[in-house]
Amino acid sequence: MTSHSDPHTRPPAADAVDDRVTPFHVDGLDVRGRVVRLGTTLDAVLAHHDYPAAVKRLLGEAVALTVLLGSTLKFEGRFILQTRTDGPVDLLVVDFTAPHDVRAYARFDAERLAELEAASPAGVAPDSGALLGAGHLAMTIDQGLSANRYQGMVALEGGGLEAAAHQYFTQSEQIPTRVRLAVAEEVRPGGAASGWRAGGLMVQFLPTEGGRIRPVDLHPGDAPEGTDLPEAEEDDAWVEAQLLVNTLEDIELVDNELSSERLLFRLFHERGARVFEAQHIVAKCSCSRERVMNVLASFSREERADLVENGQVGVTCEFCGRSYAFSAEEVVDTEPPSTED
């Protein structure tokens, strides 16, 4: 691990620190990326619902991926990852509010999940592709009322979140990208309650010289079945970076005794990696009574009246489980929120 005069770089940490995103550059390979390690923050996100282990693992992957991507925002805004699929887990939503707040929710069919687990080999948990099934993954950047939303979408066709992320960057961003995700349940000694850990690595090839990123030919859709498209020749530096990332094992991403800096040293010590100031990540829901009221006010008066039961309207936040109660008069007679800056 190298240390440079750049004031934002820092020496490697000897001890592992959870709930951090660590940016890095590997100048010798023209790549940059981020490492995320989540411990108590992931536990706090998952604790709001009584999810089965398979759903916790899948949602943990989604949280790690969202934090990797959302933490790159250079402005105050939100990055939202959402899947809608036909599998046992038909909905995932992870909401990252810059610079460090994350919340998440999963919807699943308990009966279909049990059937999938029963059909899996003994001791083998269903993978994320089987849990999700087919559908789509959407990534949304929301800069607030002052700017338009940006949304990218990619098909989910039985693959997992790693594969979807690779496909997204190939077709939408045209940036060579490699993503690794891992989630594990940690059994703590002394009979203490177990906890969940997640780790993720994102590496992108961003050379300063033009012409080194070869565009990938996307399938035209009308080619005869079985037609193979020519593969673009990849830059040698990017080939080497991918080979190094492929040596990474899941246990290294979730090891609570291995710091992010030491992990990067294992991968890129021959090329030299610069690490930058880590960013703390916290589990925090952005719901509030005022925000819920603004959502209710966006409905028509007739729709609001239909929500009234026993003289009041009850709303429960799907992310954190917090409940809000409003009188019928508060909801029915409220005015829509202003959209002016």
Residue 193: predicted pLDDT = 63
Q: Examine the domain organization and report whether 163 and 112 are in the same domain.
A: yes
CA distance 117 to 124: 8
The whole-number average pLDDT for the span 94-108 is 96
Q: Examine the domain organization and report whether 261 and 246 are in the same domain.
A: yes
Q: Examine the domain organization and report whether 150 and 262 are in the same domain.
A: yes
Q: Is residue 338 part of a domain?
A: no
Does pLDDT of 9 surpass 90? Answer: no
Residue 2: predicted pLDDT = 46
Q: What percentage of residues in the chain have a pLDDT greater than 90?
A: 60
Q: Which has the minimum average pLDDT: 139-143, 146-150, 178-182, 311-315? A: 146-150
Does pLDDT of 214 surpass 90? Answer: no
Q: Examine the domain organization and report whether 174 and 323 are in the same domain.
A: no
- The pTM for the full model equals 0.86
Q: Is residue 158 part of a domain?
A: yes
Q: Examine the domain organization and report whether 202 and 299 are in the same domain.
A: no
Q: Is residue 314 part of a domain?
A: yes
Q: Examine the domain organization and report whether 301 and 267 are in the same domain.
A: no
Does pLDDT of 236 surpass 50? Answer: yes
Q: Are 267 and 275 in contact (CB under 8 A)?
A: no
pLDDT tens string 263-306: 999 999 888 899 999 999 999 999 999 999 988 888 888 888 88
The residue range of the domain holding 27 is 20-213+237-283
Residues in the chain: 341
What's the token pair of residue 115? 């059937």
Does pLDDT of 339 surpass 80? Answer: no
Q: Examine the domain organization and report whether 184 and 257 are in the same domain.
A: yes
Q: Examine the domain organization and report whether 148 and 261 are in the same domain.
A: yes
Residue 73: predicted pLDDT = 87
**What's the structural domain count of the chain?**
2
Q: Please state, in angstroms and as integers, the Cα–Cα distance from residue 70 to each residue in 63, 66, 142, following that order.
A: 10, 6, 11
Q: Examine the domain organization and report whether 319 and 248 are in the same domain.
A: no
Query: What is the identity of the amino acid at 158?
Result: G
